[in-house]
Structure 1
Amino acid sequence: MVFEGSSAALSHTGKVRSNNQDSGYAGSNLFVVADGMGGHAGGDVASSLAVTRLEDLDRAFTTTSEAERALQSAVTDAAQDLISTVRARPELAGMGTTVSALIMVDDYAVIAHIGDSRIYLFRDGALTQITTDHTFVQRLVDSGRITVEEARYHPRRSVLMRVLGDQDPDPEIDTFIMPTQPGDRWLLCSDGLSGVVDDAHSSKALGLGLAPGRTADLLLKQALDAGAPDNVTIVIVDVGGAHPVFSGTPTIVGSASNPRGVEVPAARAGRAGWLHAARVAANEPTHFEPAPEFLEELIEEDKRRARRRRIGWIVGLLVVLAAFAAGLFAAYQWTQTRYFVGADDDTVVIFRGIQQDIGPISLSSPYEDTGLALDSLSDFNRATVEATIPASSLAEAEEIVARLESVSGGGQ
């Protein structure tokens, strides 16, 4: 459903860093943002390798399930590429990258995601974050320890819980399929945008109706105006009409756009660090694997919160059941303040309760057998008694029996 010219990609180093470790891709069917990490060279290589591995998926797929399997396999293969590269160049150990990728298949978007780059959907004037950040602070938000606003400024907001790296050959990747429709606008971005430009401003820019390229420029300006401490990569995809597969040249930005981007650079001389301290500082990785104490703290908090949730559900259920039981008991007690006159075999009986039953449960019981024989009543009175005569109190029931006795034996 994507037309040529209806997508755009750009990547910027930002105002602090001196090299761009992000990579972006906007093709015919495939759209990707990868945010590399791992120091001066590692991040460049990692994001470039990921995009290069995914490029082969920029083609037509028969079904969404086929595209989803291909996307899952390609991202896993990218992890293998990182592992192989680190084996060849141990000085790149620790490099990694996020991957947020989208393949259009007819009226559907097939998505794969790992890390804290994001995919948003702008539809009918509303911006919705589709992917979930695999970060330490997102876990804190999910567990209720901090708010979404607090997460934006948390000192550990860049600590990743999941990333495509050189350690795990089988990373846990989120994949899913979503329907899309004409008028939808998809935004893929690194945290260089989402970390400094809030959703309200992004939504306003996306809703201006500008072409994807101009919209991406506007979003980049907002990030730069906010200081842009990290690399900024933006891919925008507009959806509309039938989905032709065109053969236009894809737009590749960031590290992957450099023909040498996927080449492993030579190790730097030992003195480079202190000779260019400011430059090296600008290239320190922005993402770190969480220290064990943070993971343990989070795991324990999650366990405690899970226990509190279970206890809360149990207590809530018991309260509801108790209230229901109390209601039933109160209703039953009320029925026992009511009386009616009826028949039991061959005599007139005063019953306590009401005439209705609830399944096998009777809401009445004999209170007093009056000894008044049914045969002594007129046909009309006997039929009336057998049909039961309600009374609002015991005294009223006794009055009814007294009237029946006074006329018993007559009217045969």
Structure 2
Amino acid sequence: MVFEGSSAAISHTGKVRSNNQDSGYAGANLFAVADGMGGHAGGDVASTLAIQQLEQLDQVYSSTDDAQASLQAATTTAAGDLIRAAKERPELAGLGTTVSAIIMVDDHAVIGHIGDSRIYLFRDDELTQITADHTFVQRLVDSGRITPEEARYHPRRSVLMRVLSDMDNDPELDMFVMPTLPGDRWLLCSDGLSGVVDEPHILKAMRLGLPPGRTADNLLKQALDGGAPDNVTIVLVDVGGQHPLSSGTPTIVGAASTPSGVLIPAARVNRPSWLHPVRQAANEPSHFEPAADYLEELIEEDRRRARRRRIGWIAALVIVILALTGGGFLAYSWTQTRYFVGADEDSVVIFQGVQQSIGPITLSTEIEDTGILLANLPPYQRSSVERTINARSLADAMAIVDRLRAGEQAVTGETPPPTIAPTPTPTSTPEGAAHTTDSEVIG
């Protein structure tokens, strides 16, 4: 399916936050998402200042190099704006924002990224995450210490290692250029979406082939149905070959969509309240940059968690081994209550155990060689012995041997075989019904 080159942007406060600290932009050639951090006020200001600098880049560029240079300059200027805002109002110290942006230049996408908002590419019916999260847990994933699934629920998943903030006037962005193809769909989103809706469900929504606006609504609904503990911002853009230039009005959503978003509000004091724990949590920051000593504490905490997980696996393995060993011992003990009559190379032997074996392990042992030669038995008895004859007990096995010995004497002519009554079974039989035992077969 080839799209006509359209876009959509949507932002929602979510179900827990009391205000929207995200901002999003969808224009002619620029598409961006910024997820603010820094408490009730700072996040609004940070994402708004970032979008205000970035929206000036929504123009035509002669080359991807020019677009990259402009994108780096705009984010550096935005960092300077954050530093000045924090100086003017000290209570905003620590404000910052993620930035994930795409500038379309002909049939190429110029990408700039810092933080944990994400850019995905939907191409050829498959979804690919293009950006890498600049988070503490992503470092753990990259080093192989936790899995991507564990990272989704890690208690420190909100700790950012790189972000646009008032602490650095020269932010380090991931910047690269990718070619676009007809039918590409690009998704930019804050972690309010990616932290709640996993990639298989995002992919399912993309495969429906709905227009960008309806797809964005679908994804937002999934995030809200999942609890939406953070602000959710989604920007979608479809590409139909060379990116079409549009003279329409750009779409700005979230904090940057209102003039009040750039105002630095008066300081607020959030007093703890046991009556309104959710309201209090809604004003707490969703992201923060850690100090160096805090990172050391996190690393040590992760080591302790890894040790506990390793000890848990070892304990579980030991329990499984003990259970298998105990079960095997009980099963083997049961087999040793069984007996059967069989043959070695040329004579009849009584065995303890069962006829089966487990690999090289034999579950029976020879307890008596009766001295009865197979060659001296009648054909039907020799055949039964070679197939083995089950016995209920050692006494029953001895009785079977007596019958075989009588058969041997009958063949050799030493004495006539004795007549031995069948051994009755403990189970009752309906009157008039036939009843057969191993002894009757041998007799």
Is the structural similarity TM-score above 0.5?
yes
Equivalent position amino acid for 1:60 in 2: V
**Does the 8 Å CA contact 2:9/2:26 hold for their aligned counterparts?**
yes
Equivalent residue letter for 1:20: N
- C-alpha change, 1:272 and 1:294, in structure 2 (3 Å) is closer
Aligned to 2:83: 83
Task: List per-residue Cα deviations over 1:43-77 (Å, max 9, x = no partner).
Answer: 00000000001110000000001000100110111
> Following superposition of structure 1 onto structure 2, how do residues 3-402 of structure 1 map, counting pairs within 5 Å?
6-268=6-268, 270=269, 278-293=278-293, 295-296=295-296
Distance 1:234 1:246 in 2: 20
Report the CA distance between 1:287 and its aligned residue: 1.0
Q: Secondary structure at the match of 1:261?
A: helix
State how far apart, in whole Å, the 2-side matches of 1:3 and 1:167 are.
Answer: 42
CA deviations on 1:88-139 (whole Å, 9 max, x unpaired) are 1111111110000000000100000000000000000110000000000000
Structure 2, unaligned runs of 5 or more: 303-443
CA 1:181–1:18 in 2, change beyond 3 Å: closer, same or farther? same
User: 1:133-188: CA deviations, max 9, x gaps?
Assistant: 00000000001100000000000011000011111111111111001111000000
SS in 2 for 1:9: strand
The one-letter code sitting in structure 1 at the alignment partner of 2:262 is V
Amino acid at match of 1:145: R
Give the superposition deviation at 1:263.
1.3
Q: Is the 8 A contact 1:140 1:298 kept in 2?
A: no
Offset of residue 293 of structure 1: 4.4
Q: After TM superposition, give the deviation of residue 217 of structure 1 in Å.
A: 0.2
Deviations along 1:287-321, one digit per CA (max 9) or x if unpaired, are: 1223534533678999xxxxxxxxxxxxxxxxxxx
Counting aligned pairs with the same residue, the percent is 76
The question of whether the paired residues in 1 share the 8 Å contact of 2:3 and 2:183 is answered with no
Contact 1:3 1:243 in 2 (8 A): no
Q: CA deviation at 1:36?
A: 0.3
What code does the residue aligned with 2:130 have? Answer: I
Offset, 1:271: 7.3
Contact 1:46 1:82 in 2 (8 A): yes
Q: TM-score, normalised by structure 2?
A: 0.65
Listed one character per residue, the Cα deviations across residues 322-349 of structure 1 (whole Å, up to 9, x for unaligned) are xxxxxxxxxxxxxxxxxxxxxxxxxxxx
Q: Deviations over 1:199-239 (max 9, x none)?
A: 00001101110000000000001101111000000000000
For the 8 Å contact 2:5–2:237, the answer to whether it is kept is: no
Residue 260 of structure 1 aligns to a residue whose secondary structure is helix
TM-score (norm 1): 0.69
| Partner Cα distance (2:282, 2:135) in 1 | 22
Q: CA shift at 1:38, angstroms?
A: 0.7
Q: Could you tell me whether the CA contact under 8 Å between 2:12 and 2:233 is conserved in 1?
A: yes
How many residues were matched structurally? 300
Q: What is the CA distance between 1:277 and its match in structure 2? A: 6.0
Q: CA deviation at 1:241?
A: 3.7
Tell me the residue number matched to 2:410: none
Instruction: Provide structure 1 residue ranges, at least 5 long, that are not aligned to the other structure.
Output: 303-412
Amino acid corresponding to residue 197 of structure 1 in structure 2: V
1:265, 1:183 → 2: CA distance? Answer: 44
Alpha carbon RMSD of aligned pairs, Å?
2.2
Q: Write the distance in 2 (CA, Å) between the matches of 1:77 and 1:276.
A: 39
